[in-house]
Chains A and B, each alone.
Chain A
C-alpha cells in the first residue's frame, strides 16, 4: 500500500481505539462485543480482524454486534439503540458482553457506562474507547485489557501450581502463535506451564484465574502499569517483556527463574546450546554485506536486526543486499532463527 498521511506527525497515525479494544475483546470466545456506532465502523473492524485471522490460518468466529447508529440516533441520541442491542445480546446468554464506543457515540455524548450499569443477566463491561476521541489503537488495547481484568478473582490455592499467565499478546500480529510458542518453550524449560493467555482464545470463566498465576509474563514493557496493577491486587510478580533475540532469551529465563524462585542453570545451558546450533546452521552468513529494507519497523526492530547482524559479523553497506527488517524484535531464539532464514533467502536472491 502506498499512503500519504499529511502533514507528518506520527502521534496521529496510531490507529483507532476501537480496533485495539476489539483485538482483545473478540479473543474471548464466549463473549459478545457490542460496537456502539454506525455499521460501517463495525464492518471495518470485523473485516480487518476476520481477514487478519484468515491470513494467519486462525479461523475464528467473531462476535461483533453493531448498534447501527444512523442519522436518527445522531439527532436524538443513541443510548436506546445500545440498550436494545445489549438486551438482544444478553438473550443469547454469552459469558459477558463488552461495550465499545466509537467517535460517533462520543461526539453525540452517549454514556455507555450508564447503560452498562443497568441490571443485566450477564456481566456487561464497558471499555473506554470512543474511536479517535480516546487515543490510538494502543490505548484501546490497554483499556480493554484493564476492563477485562475486573473479571479476575484472587488466588485461593497453591500459587506455585498455577503456572504462567501470558498478558497482552498482540493478537493481530502475524506471528502471534509462533511468539507464544517460544514463551511456552522457555517457561516450560523451567517447569512452568502456561495456564492462561490473557487474552487469546479464552473463555470468560478463564479470566477469573488471572489472579492465581505464579507469574505474569507481559508481552512488552508498555504493559508494565497493568503488571503493577495485577501485582498490587493479587501479589503476582511479573516479567516485563517477551524474550527478544538471543541475549533477551537468556535474560528472560533468568528473570522468570528469579520471579518464581527457581534455578535457571540447566535451562540456560540448554538454551545456549540451541543458540550455538543456530549459529552453526547459519555460519555461511559470516561477514556478509547487508543493508536493511524499508524503514517500516519500529526502533526495537532495527536494534534487534543490528544485534542479529553483529552475531555473524555482518557488514552494513548501503550497496549490500536488502534484508527484511522485522516489524518488532524477534521473539526467542526461534524468532532469530526464522529471521535468519528470511535474511539468507534475501542474500541469495
Chain B
C-alpha cells in the first residue's frame, strides 16, 4: 500500500467488518455509534437490521454518551442484547462507552475505521463475543460465515449438507446463528473461509477445494469424541471422487478446443489463492498475478496486496488477462475480459441464488462459472 495517498481504496473499514460479524447473530441489537455516513454504508451493504446513534456535531461537542443512552433506551422490546460498535469520532473524543452504558450490559466493540480493514473489525467483534465450548456437545461448528462474503449463504448450506452427509450435526455457525449459541459451541470446527475465522475449539481445517475438504473431514472424523455417534466418511469420499471426475472431464473437454485462460485473481487471501490454484491445477491456466485485499499470502503465484483502484488498473494493464476474478472494481477495469465476481462488491449483475465457494459444490461452481465465462468469450 502506498505510504500516503491510496487511490480508490477497495476494502471496507473495521467498523463494517465488526458489523458483518455481529449482525449475523439473532438476539443481538447492533448499534453503530457514529454518524449517518458510518451507518448507511454497513446497513446498505449488509442488508440487515442495524440501529444507529446518527451523531451530529453537537453530540461530539457535548459528548455522545447521552445520545447513545437515548438510542439504547429506545431499542424495541425483544431486540436482544445491545452490541455497540464505535466509529472513529467517538473513539477520538474518548467516550467511555462501557462505563456509561453499564446498565444495558452491552457488548462493546471498539472498531473505528482508522484501526484497520474489515478483517480487523471482524477479529475485534469475535473477541468481544468471547465464544465458549461446551465439551459435552457432539456438534460441529461452522466457521468463516460472514454477511459481507458474497458466498456466505451458499457456503453455509454446503457445509451443513456435508456434515449431514457424514452423519454429523452442525453446531454453532460463526457468524450466522442465535447469539446464545455463541457460548454453547461444539468442540470441533470446520471452516468455510479462513480469513474470517475465530470459532473456539479444535479447528479441523478449511474446505476450499476438494483435497482440503477431504482432509478436513478426515481430521474431523479422526478427532471426534467418544459418543459422537457413527460418523461415516465414505459418502463424502464417494462424492468427492465423482466431483473430481466431472471437473476433470469438463476442463479437459474445454482444453480440447480452447487455450487455457490467462487469469488475474483479486480477493481476500484465502479465496484468492484457492481460486488461483484451482484454475492452474484443473485448467492449466496462466496466473501471472494474485492481488490480495489484505495480508500476506504464501502462494506459488506472484502475489501482492492490491488495495487501491489505480494499483488494480496497473496490474490489469500489464497483463491483459482473458479472465478476471474479483470485484466490480476489477470488472470495470477489464471490460473485455471474462469476469467472475468473488469479492465484494459484486454489482451490475443479479445474484439471487446461494452459490458456494467452499466444499464440493464450491469447487464445481467455480469451475462451471469459469468455463462458461471463457466459452462465451472465446473467439469462434
Of B42-50, B164-172, B178-186, the segment with at least 4 beta carbons within 8 Å of chain A is: B42-50
Instruction: Name the distance in Å between B51's Cβ and chain A's nearest Cβ.
Output: 5
Which residue on chain A has the smallest CB distance to residue B42?
A44
| Majority DSSP secondary structure for residues of A touching B | helix
Is there contact, CB below 8 Å, between A44 and B70? no
B57 A133 Cβ-Cβ under 8 A: yes
**Interface residue? A2 (CB, 8 A):** yes
Which of A81-89, A213-221, A299-307, A330-338 lines the interface with chain B? A81-89
Q: Is the CB of A85 within 8 A of B41?
A: no
CA distance A72 to B359 in the complex (A): 42
CB closest chain-A residue, reference B29:
A4
Decide if A65 touches B5 in the complex (CB within 8 Å). Answer: yes
Convert B44-65 into 0s and 1s, putting 1 for each residue whose CB lies closer than 8 angstroms to a CB of A: 1101111110111100100000
Most chain B CB atoms below 10 A, which of A17, A48, A68: A68
Chain A residues with CB under 8 A of B258: none
Q: Does A119 contact B (CB under 8 A)?
A: no
Name which residue of chain A comes closest to B71, CB basis.
A6
With both beta carbons as reference points, the residue of chain A lying nearest to B115 in the complex is identified as A71
Q: Are B37 and A15 in contact (CB under 8 A)?
A: yes
- Decide if the interface of chain B is mainly helix, strand, loop or mixed: mixed
Contact A62 B13 (CB under 8 A): no
Whether, in the assembled complex, B11 has its beta carbon less than 8 Å from a beta carbon of chain A, the answer is: yes
Please give me the residue from chain B that is nearest to A72 by CB atom: B114
Instruction: Please tell me if the beta carbons of B332 and A84 are within 8 angstroms of each other in the complex.
Output: no
With A4-B49, A46-B309 known to touch, is A107 a contact of B4 (CB < 8 Å)? Answer: no
Tell me if A41 and B113 are in contact (CB < 8 A): yes
Residue of A nearest to B55 (CB): A132
State whether the Cβ of B7 lies closer than 8 Å to any Cβ in chain A: yes
> Counting CB contacts under 8 A, is A13 at the interface?
yes
Across-interface contacts of A17 in B (CB, < 8 A): 37
Are A7's CB and B74's CB within 8 A? yes
Pick the contact of B89: A12, A39, A44, A103 (CB < 8 A): A103
Q: What residues on B are CB-neighbors of A71 within 8 Å?
A: 114-115
Q: How far is the CB of B65 from chain A (nearest CB, A)?
A: 15
**Chain B interfacial residues counted at CB < 8 A:** 61
Is the Cβ of A12 less than 8 Å from the Cβ of B36?
yes
**Complex partner residue of B6 from A13, A42, A104, CB under 8 angstroms:** A42
Cα(A250)–Cα(B43), bound, Å: 41
B127 to chain A, nearest CB (A): 18
A46 and B89: CB pair below 8 A?
no
**B7–A7 contact, CB under 8 A?**
no
Interface status of B16 (Cβ within 8 A of chain A): yes
Known: A38-B113, A40-B15. A5 touches B329 (CB 8 A): no
Complexed CA–CA distance, A89 and B41 (Å): 27
Q: Which residues of A contact B (CB under 8 A)?
A: 1-7, 9, 11-19, 34, 37-44, 46-48, 50-51, 54-55, 59, 61-71, 74, 81, 84-85, 88-89, 102-104, 107-108, 131-134, 136
Given A38-B114, A59-B335, A65-B8, 10 more contacts at CB 8 Å? A1-B44, A3-B39, A4-B51, A6-B52, A7-B71, A12-B55, A18-B37, A39-B6, A107-B93, A132-B57
Would you give 10 A-B contacts (Cβ < 8 Å), ordered by A? A4-B49, A5-B39, A13-B54, A41-B37, A41-B113, A84-B3, A104-B113, A107-B89, A131-B37, A132-B55
